[in-house]
Every structure is written in C-alpha cells, then in structure tokens.
Amino acid sequence: MAMAMKPGKVGVEEAIETVHRIRITLSSKSVKNLEKVCADLIKGAKDKRLKVKGPVRMPTKVLHITTRKSPCGEGTNTWDRFELRVHKRVIDLHSPSEVVKQITSITIEPGVEVEVTIADV
Amino acid sequence: MGKKKKFIEKKKSATFALVYKEATDDGNEEDGAGTGRIFTRIDGGFSHVPGFSEEDPRSQLHGYAYGEQGEEEEEEEEEEEEDLSMFADAEEEDTEETGDENGSHKFQTAVKRPQSGANSSSSRFRDRRGGAALPDHVRKELVDLGFPDDGYDYLQHMRKIGAAGVGASFVPTNRLQLDRIRTDVKVYDSSRVAVNLVDETTDEQRLIEAVGSSTRPLRRPAFVEEQGLDPEVAAALANSDDGSQFDSCDELEDDFVIHATENADGDDSACQEIPKRQDVGIHKVGNSNGHRESVEEEREGEEEDEEDVHQIARKDTTRQRCIRLLDEQFESLALREYDDDMLPGDFDEEDPEARGHADISQFDDVLSEFLADSNIHGDKYKTPAETTSSRPSKSSGPALGIRLEACQESSHASLDDVSDTSEDELVIVEEESEDERSNWDCETVVSTLSNLDNHPGKILAPSKSNSKKQLTLGRVLEEKESNGGVIRLRGRHHLPLDLLPEKPGSTLIGEKFKGIGKTGKGDKESGSKKPVSRVGETPEEHKLRKAAVKEQRRDARAAKKALKVCYRDESQRAQHGAANTGPSGIHLP
C-alpha cells in the first residue's frame, strides 16, 4: 500500500493523501452509455495522474424470458423470447478516496450504476 | 501454489454505491452537479472512509458508532449531521420546541430508514436514546390521545388535521332539540334559505316565495294537540314513554274508532261550515237519487262523479275530525274542475226542452227512424234491400240477380254523384271481360315472386376448390361416381366412412380406429380372466387380486380415452374439411 506520509500532521492530512486501491464497478443495460461513462472515468483519472487499470469487461449476463405469445391457449404454439442484458465493467485505480469521489461525481449517464469499493479501510 | 493476491480483499474493504438522493427542503447544495447523487455504503461496515463517509447518510445516524474518532470529530460530525442528514426535516425527538428549522411544526409519518442489517442496531441505539428522552409534555399529549405511555413516540405517526391545507376541517353540527320547545310553537327549518341582500327593487312576492319554498316545517314528535289527536291520547302516548305504565294496562285503550263511528250522526250537524253551494249540491243529489234513470244518458257519468265527490265530503263514518277550510277548498276545487257544466240537479228546472221523465227504452226506434228518414239523408245510406223495397215494380227474376243488380246499382250510384241517376232509371253496369282481367304475363308473374325464396344468380362454371386436405383425389372421385355424386357421412361423428380403408392397418386412420377399438374390447372380454375372490385368501392374495383388478381397469380407461381422442381428432379434421368445401348444406354437429 503506497502511503504518502507527511511528517508531523497525521490526522487530517493523512486522510487526503493516503492512496487506496479502489475498484469502480459499472453496470448497465445499455452498452453505449456504459462505454461512455467508462471512457470519461478513465480520462478523468488519467488527468489526475492516477494509476488506472481497465476497463475490464466482464461477461454480459443475459436474462432470458420465454413466454407464449398467445394470451389464451389457442392457436399454434408460438413463443416470444425476451432478454435483458447486463453489461459490467471494472476499473481499478490507485488513488486517495476524495479524488475518486470527485471523478465519479462529474460524469454519469442515466441507467449506469456505479459502485466504488475501497480496500484496506 | 497459493492464491494470487487479490486486488481488494472483501473483508477489509468498504463498498459505496452512487445513488440518487431525494431533494430536501433544506436548500443544502448537493454535489453531483446538482442532480443529487451521493455515495451510500452498502456493505454494512462502519469504518470511516475519508471522503465517502462524510456524506453517507447512514453514518449520520449513529455518531457514536465510530470507535476511532476523536472528540472533535464527533462534534464536527454532529454539526454536519444536522445540516446534511436526509432526515433533517423529520421530527426530532428531543428538539421539539426548537425544531422549527423548516418553519412549520408538523408531524411526519414514520421516516423510512434504509434497509440494512446494521441499521437495526442503529435504530436500537436511537430508540434507546429516544426512549429516555421523551419530554413530559409529549408524554402528556400521548396519554391524552389514548396511547400507552411506553416511551415510544406515537406522535411521529400522527398528522394534524387541516395543517398545510390537507385534510378536512371540523364543523360541529347544529342539531335542534325539539322536545325542549313548547308545544304550541311551530318549528320550521330554514337552513336552506338563501340569504340575499334586499334592495328596494326586490320583489316582495318573490322573496316570500323564495323563503317559503326552501323553508320546511320540521316534524315534531306527535305529542301535540294537532292533527286531531285527543288530549287523552296524547297524554297516554307521552306517558307511555316510560314503559312502566304498559304493564298495568293489558288491553289497548285506543277505542277511537268506536268513538268516531258513534259520532257519525252528530258530525253532520256539527260541521256547519260547508258552504251553501255544496249544501245545495248535496240536496240535489239526494233528490235525484231516486230518479236517476230519468236523466238522459249523457249526464249519468257526470252525476256519478259528482256523487263520489260528495261522498268524500260527507264521509262521516271514517272521518275523525271536523271539516277544515282546506277540505272545503279542495272540494270546491274538485267541483270546479270536474264539473264545468251545470250541476246535474239543476237540469230539471233550467232545461227548457226537457219534457219530463221517460224510460230510455222508449226511444229505441229513434235511431232507426232517423236513419230511415229519406228527407235527411237522401239515398246515401241505402242498403240494397232498401233499394229493392223502394222499387217493388222492378222486382222480377231471381232474388240473386236482383241483389247483384242492386249492389252494383248502389255502388255506382254512390260513386257517380254527377250523373242523374235516380232509383227508377235503369243503370247500365259495365263489366270487365274475364280475359282481360286474368291475363298475366311472365314479367308480372316473376315480379310478384319474392327474392327471399328465389335466389337469382348467375350460372357459372364450377371452380377449382383449393382444399389441401383430401385423402386422395382418385379415391374421392371414385366414391363420388359410385354413390351418384354424393359422399355419404355416416356414424355419430359424420365421417366419410366409405373413404376409410377397409383393410385394417393400411392407413393411419384405420389403424387408429380399428386397432384401438378392437384391442380395447378384446382385452376386456377375452384376454383377462377376472380374478375371483376365494374364501380363505390371505391378505397378500387379496392385495394382489385388488391390484390386478385395478390394473385392468386402468388399462381399460386408457384405451377408452385413446379411442375417444382419436374420434375427436378425426371429427375435427372432418369439420375443417367441410368448412373448406363448397356447399354449405352439410351440417356437422
């Protein structure tokens, strides 16, 4: 764990400077928004000179729903196949947590869910 | 080989989710570009994460859950807590007097707390803290409202009526207590009267009407000397309220009917207020009662009406009270309305042409004389018989011929008023020749037939039918020819049994029907020998026997069902086929 420690003051400054391992998980139903948010986040992190890894694309989870088309039971047995796709991206950072907060609060598209996991806290 | 070192160890990490926060009334500025997004902790830990925990609303709830903090930070936290907490507009338990941060002291419904396991502990903390701190006046209020004094603040679930414009306003009712009013006072309900400003221009009459129409007299209990109740009855009713007096008197003491009937004769003399006209009327009716038949028939109906009215007026037996002004007015109205002409009794004196009385049966001939009088009618209404009777000299030949002639004569005489035909002259009768009359051409005939019965249509060449479901064309044609062009449907399901294969098993249909049927029946009759219960069989043998019987029955049922299904399918297919083929005369059940 990289800790930038300044001599003397521990309390408040320590909070700002300590660099944590941070994992940002982004999930969404739409790929376009998700990719946009990812790109923005990585760009923001790189602007702040942080060590970034990602985005790692997790396998898409697909929820299949297969239903009869007919509201009654009559007729040829035709079936509808619906699916819901959830895409997931993971971005790893090494940064103090305040910075991450700033980055994530700037750009968010609707429909994208953001989760931030901070290690060693 | 050991595990690769993970980037983040779950147990030592804190996870936050970016959520949308509800807009609050504090006016606090939210970060997140003004759309109200904050990070809330979702892994349930309590460790402090710099930068994230500050705005976490969960952390605001329990300022004492952080073991690592110094005291300064705690104070800081609490200050921030007041500003940033999303429960800031909720009712504070210990700061009721000063809790007017939002300017209005309102009770809120129970605040929703985020669902997580850790929060139960936090709420426990809170309740414990809150329970000890319920101020006295709150407790007093709770007790007044009826809630138990158990340290829980029920007021957080209560809402003030009418506050913030929501809810109903309380209006006490005004119920009049009628029994407190003196009995000689009449009560009217004028609550519906619209009160308007009165100028000089307002019509007085209108005002009075308006007031009168919306004012209703209130009903009062009948313990009153109105409506003709005798004072004794009223007193008895009033006293019977107690209920105690009822036991003493076993019989009813209400014999007003008897009293009323006894007074029937006395009432006539008692009620002298009847106006003179009616008196006269009554007299007249009394006089003409005996001479009813003398009056001409047209007057009789009226007289009866008159009588009825007077009967009503004179009802002594059933009326219990004296005739009031209103009754007299009603009767005079009835007389006025229903008797515009002279009173029946007056006829005898005033009618100059009346020549006394006579029976109506004496006037039977009047009508016939009237009709026969040629001075009045001429020969308009002559029947053939009369025509011939008036011309006796012409009567020769068969009666039929005469009648015929007379008929024609009279008809022509009535039609041709212009021509100078008198009864004595001979009338030339024209007759249509029979040939002319009964010659119909086919156009006329055809046009008289209705389209409902005959369906005119074009003759077309027979079209090719597009039915896909034909067994084999060759076979169908064969059958058609052999049966004279008709495919016979036989059996209960009306299937073209001729088209079924004769050899068993040669087609699918044949297999289905014949195979199943035969095997099904075969099993029952010949195949199985039903086990018979013997005397002295062991329970195991009994069980076996029963099981065997059950098996047989099950098989039989299955076979029957299969046969049924087969039949049904076939009949459905036949129906489909019939629907597609041409003539709609084939009816399939």
Query: Cα B90–B95–B97 angle (5° rounding)?
Result: 110
| Least confident residue range of A63-72, B362-371, B554-563 | B362-371
Average pLDDT estimate for B109-128: 42
A33 touches chain B (CB under 8 A): no
Q: What is the reported pLDDT for B341? A: 59
The answer to whether A26 touches A113, Cβ cutoff 8 Å, is yes
Average pLDDT estimate for A70-76: 89
Among the listed residues A97, A86, A118, the one whose alpha carbon sits nearest the alpha carbon of residue A48: A97
Q: What is the reported pLDDT for B172? A: 76
With contacts defined as CB-CB under 8 Å, which chain B residues touch A97? 49-52
Q: How far is B15 from chain A (nearest CA, A)?
A: 4
| Phi/psi at B514 (5° precision) | -75, -35
Q: How far is B31 from chain A (nearest CA, A)?
A: 7
Which residues are paired to B490 by β-bridges? Answer: B495
The answer to whether B14 touches A118, Cβ cutoff 8 Å, is yes
The answer to whether A43 touches A68, Cβ cutoff 8 Å, is no
The rounded distance, in Å, linking the Cα atoms of B586 and B578 is 7
Say if residue B479's pLDDT is above 50: yes
Query: Cα A94–A96–A97 angle (5° rounding)?
Result: 110
Q: How far is B12 from chain A (nearest CA, A)?
A: 5
Left if phi > 0, otherwise alpha if psi is -120 to 50, otherwise beta: which for B558? alpha
Say if residue B552's pLDDT is above 90: yes
The answer to whether B137 touches B149, Cβ cutoff 8 Å, is no
Q: How far is A119 from chain B (nearest CA, A)?
A: 4
The answer to whether A5 touches A14, Cβ cutoff 8 Å, is yes
Q: Between chains, do A106 and B39 touch, taking CB under 8 Å as contact?
A: no
The answer to whether B524 touches B556, Cβ cutoff 8 Å, is yes
Q: How far is B18 from chain A (nearest CA, A)?
A: 5
Block residue for tokens 């308009």: B380
The rounded distance, in Å, linking the Cα atoms of B322 and B73 is 100
Condensed to tens digits (0 to 9), the pLDDT of residues A28-49 reads 999 999 999 999 999 999 999 9
**Residue B305, H or E segment:** helix B297-313
Say if residue B308's pLDDT is above 70: no
Q: Between chains, do B8 and A119 touch, taking CB under 8 Å as contact?
A: yes
Q: Using 50, 70 and 90 to split pLDDT, how confident is the model at B365?
A: confident
Strands B37-41 vs A51-68: parallel, antiparallel or unpaired: unpaired
Q: Between chains, do A118 and B49 touch, taking CB under 8 Å as contact?
A: yes
Q: What is the reported pLDDT for B259? A: 83
C-alpha distances (whole Å) from B558 to each of B546, B552, B561 are 18, 10, 5
Q: What is the reported pLDDT for B33? A: 45
Q: Using 50, 70 and 90 to split pLDDT, how confident is the model at B35?
A: low
A16 touches chain B (CB under 8 A): yes
Say if residue B31's pLDDT is above 50: no
Strands B37-41 vs A112-118: parallel, antiparallel or unpaired: unpaired
Condensed to tens digits (0 to 9), the pLDDT of residues B144-157 reads 888 887 888 888 88
Strands A20-28 vs A79-95: parallel, antiparallel or unpaired: antiparallel
Q: How many helices (H) and strands (E) does chain A have?
A: 3, 4
What's chain A's length in residues?
A: 121
The tokens describing B499, both together, are 């088209």
Q: What is the reported pLDDT for B548? A: 93
Q: Between chains, do B50 and A15 touch, taking CB under 8 Å as contact?
A: yes
Closest residue to A97, CB basis, from B31, B42, B51: B51
A115 touches chain B (CB under 8 A): yes
Quickly list H helices, B53-191: 57-61, 71-84, 117-132, 136-145
A7 touches chain B (CB under 8 A): no
Query: Cα B332–B337–B338 angle (5° rounding)?
Result: 100
Average pLDDT estimate for B580-585: 67
Residues near B517 by Cβ (< 8 Å), separated by ≥ 6?
Answer: B563
C-alpha distances (whole Å) from B105 to each of B26, B147, B314 are 15, 21, 77
The answer, yes or no, to whether ipTM is higher than 0.85 is no
Strands, E, within B170-290: which ranges? 188-189, 216-217
The answer to whether B423 touches B387, Cβ cutoff 8 Å, is yes
Q: Is B509 exposed, middle or buried (0-12, 13-18, 19+ CB in 10 A)?
A: middle
The tokens describing B378, both together, are 């001429």
The answer to whether B39 touches B52, Cβ cutoff 8 Å, is yes
Is the N-terminal amide bond of B148 cis, ω within 30° of 0? no
- Of B197-206, B310-319, B515-524, highest mean pLDDT: B197-206
Q: Using 50, 70 and 90 to split pLDDT, how confident is the model at B202?
A: low
Closest residue to B52, CB basis, from A23, A97, A113: A97
Q: What are the residues of chain B with a beta carbon less than 8 Å away from any beta carbon of chain A?
A: 7-9, 12-18, 31-33, 37, 39, 42, 47-52, 70
CB interface of A with B, residues 34-93, below 8 Å:
92
Q: Using 50, 70 and 90 to split pLDDT, how confident is the model at B21?
A: confident
Say if residue B23's pLDDT is above 90: no
Q: What is the reported pLDDT for A83? A: 94
The rounded distance, in Å, linking the Cα atoms of B236 and B256 is 13
Average pLDDT estimate for B568-589: 77
Q: Between chains, do A105 and B37 touch, taking CB under 8 Å as contact?
A: yes
| Phi/psi at B37 (5° precision) | -110, 135
Q: Report, in this order, helix, strand and coil percent for chain A, each rounded to 5.
A: 30, 40, 30
DSSP character for B495? B
Q: Using 50, 70 and 90 to split pLDDT, how confident is the model at B297?
A: very low
Q: Between chains, do B13 and A119 touch, taking CB under 8 Å as contact?
A: yes
DSSP character for B178? G
Quickly list H helices, B14-101: 57-61, 71-84
CA-based nearest residue in chain B for residue A1: B7
Q: Between chains, do B51 and A113 touch, taking CB under 8 Å as contact?
A: no
Q: Using 50, 70 and 90 to split pLDDT, how confident is the model at B543?
A: very high
Q: How far is A74 from chain B (nearest CA, A)?
A: 15
Amino acid, res. B313: A
Q: Between chains, do B52 and A116 touch, taking CB under 8 Å as contact?
A: yes
Average pLDDT estimate for B491-517: 59
